[in-house]
Amino acid sequence: MTLTTWRGPSAGLVRPELWLLLWAAAWRLGATACPALCTCTGTTVDCHGTGLQAVPKNIPRNTERLELNGNKITRIHKDDFAGLKQLRVLQLMENQIGVVERGAFDDMKELERLRLNRNQLYALPELLFQNNQALSRLDLSENSIQAIPRKAFRGATDLKNLQLDKNQISCIEEGAFRALRGLEVLTLNNNSITTIPVSSFNHMPKLRTFRLHSNHLFCDCHLAWLSQWLRQRPTIGLFTQCSGPASLRGLNVAEVQKSEFSCPGQGEAAHVPSCTLSSGSCPAMCTCSNGIVDCRGKGLTAIPANLPETMTEIRLELNGIKSIPPGAFSPYRKLRRIDLSNNQISEIAPDAFQGLRSLNSLHTSSPRGQPGSYLAPATPSSKNELRDGTLCFYSDR
């Protein structure tokens, strides 16, 4: 192949080899440019506490440590970290993250440490960590997570430290921890757990720190296995206590005898309680009929997880709900009416109602009838108005 010269606008002759060098230099400069508001040192990009509302777009591809903590990020999109194949440490704690889209971490095959604590996560997508085989430490504490799906940690086979404390977990699907054979630290304390599938922790021979205290464990026949499991490991799981039934309330689970774990009237053949997250179900404290989920006056402090996907109306008034996180209702595409009136809501995320094309009525008045300062949902073909302390949402169709 013969290389010819190119005559530029200045009438000077520039050899193609030089243009190739200039192009390569420009490409390298783009690959290593530091995002605005951040500082870059070596392979570390520090953007913490800079007021960011979204993940910067021009993060250098050779970044190994990325600090985004202490910002105002509300959502992690699927392509936010695309191309960051060398990333080992990702700090996302102390933001306002309510949703992490599946696939967001897929390019990070070298990721070892991920901190997402102190955010507003209410759900964990299945297979979120399927490409993170090197992940050894994952902190999800102090969020609003309500359920652990069966495939939540599938793929994270090298995980050693998993922190799930101080959430609102009430449902753990069978097999959720099965692949975590190398786990050394597991914290589940300060949640709303009432029961746990049989043998959930039997595949963790290296477990040395385990916390399950401050939950709502109901010590019936389905939880007898946990007592034996704890007795065999007297140095972990300390202060794990029964919350019910009344006769066992306050007792350490490990000290309750097998004969005391009973299911009155049904014996050992009692139906094993379980939670299935595939298509949603009616929350235990609510009533569901004809597409209407009625959770009025149930003392709720957060939107229940795993609601029926086919519901058309949900009534959540007269509760203690304080905030609506991003994407809280997004999975429920058939919703036409949402009633959140008479709660303690002070914050509604801008995309809390994203994707609800059928929604035509949304009520969010406060207990005293005073309207809050809320950003109305942005959905196609819609209009909104505030009347008498109620945010009403109408569809043009």
Q: What is the CATH number of the domain that holds 298?
A: 3.80.10.10
40-68 per-position pLDDT tens digit: 999 999 999 999 999 999 999 999 999 99
Tokens for 146, please give them: 């309500």
158-211 per-position pLDDT tens digit: 999 999 999 989 889 889 999 999 999 999 999 999 999 999 999 999 999 999
Chain center to CA of 20: 46
306-344 per-position pLDDT tens digit: 788 889 999 999 999 988 887 788 888 899 999 999 999
Q: What are phi and psi of 393, to 5 degrees?
A: -120, 125
**Band (225; pLDDT cuts 50, 70, 90):** very high
**Comparing C-alpha atoms, which of 342, 335, 343 is closest to residue 301?**
343
Q: Does residue 378 lie in a domain region?
A: yes
pLDDT beyond 60 at 377: no
117-160 per-position pLDDT tens digit: 999 998 888 899 999 999 999 999 999 898 898 899 999 999 99
- Mark out the alpha helices in the chain (DSSP H runs): 16-32, 224-231
Residue predicted with more confidence, 350 or 19: 350
pLDDT over 70, % of the chain: 79
The Cα 13–Cα 312 span in angstroms is 70
SS3 content of the chain, % helix, strand, coil (to 5): 10, 20, 70
Q: What is the mean pLDDT of the chain?
A: 84
Q: Does residue 51 lie in a domain region?
A: no
**Residue that has been written with the tokens 């957060």 in this structure:** 302
Say what the pLDDT of residue 302 is: 82
H/E element, 385: strand 382-387
The Cα 186–Cα 196 span in angstroms is 14
The Cα 390–Cα 386 span in angstroms is 6
Q: Does residue 216 lie in a domain region?
A: no
- Is-contact 36 27, C-beta < 8 A? no
Using omega within 30 degrees of 0 as the cis cutoff, is the peptide bond preceding 245 cis?
yes
The Cα 241–Cα 193 span in angstroms is 12
Over 46-113, what HEC string results? ECCCCCCCCCCCCCCCCCCEEECCCCCCCEECCCCCCCCCCCCEEECCCCCCCEECCCCCCCCCCCCE
Q: Does residue 164 lie in a domain region?
A: no
Averaged pLDDT, 269-283: 58
Tokens for 103, please give them: 């696939």
pLDDT beyond 80 at 5: no
Averaged pLDDT, 287-315: 86
Q: Does residue 23 lie in a domain region?
A: no
How many of the other CB atoms lie within 10 Å of CB of 355?
17
The Cα 63–Cα 85 span in angstroms is 8
Handedness of CA 151, 97, 309, 290 (dihedral sign): positive
Kindly tell me the burial class for residue 20, based on how many C-beta atoms sit within 10 Å of its own C-beta (0-12, 13-18, 19 or more).
Answer: exposed
Q: Does residue 196 lie in a domain region?
A: no
Say what the pLDDT of residue 284 is: 67
Q: Count structural domains, the chain.
A: 1
Does the model's pTM come out above 0.85? Answer: no
Averaged pLDDT, 346-364: 87
The Cα 307–Cα 283 span in angstroms is 7
Q: Does residue 231 lie in a domain region?
A: no
pLDDT beyond 90 at 1: no
**Comparing C-alpha atoms, which of 325, 288, 326, 340 is closest to residue 309?**
288
Q: Does residue 190 lie in a domain region?
A: no
**Comparing C-alpha atoms, which of 285, 346, 338 is closest to residue 321?**
346
Beta-carbon contacts of 4 under 8 Å, excluding residues fewer than 6 positions away, are 16
Say what the pLDDT of residue 156 is: 96
Say what the pLDDT of residue 32 is: 67
Residue 337, beta-bridge partner list: 313, 361
Domain that holds residue 298: 279-397
Handedness of CA 363, 331, 162, 97 (dihedral sign): negative
pLDDT beyond 90 at 277: no
- Is-contact 201 178, C-beta < 8 A? no
Tell me how long the chain is.
397
Tell me the residue type at 353. F
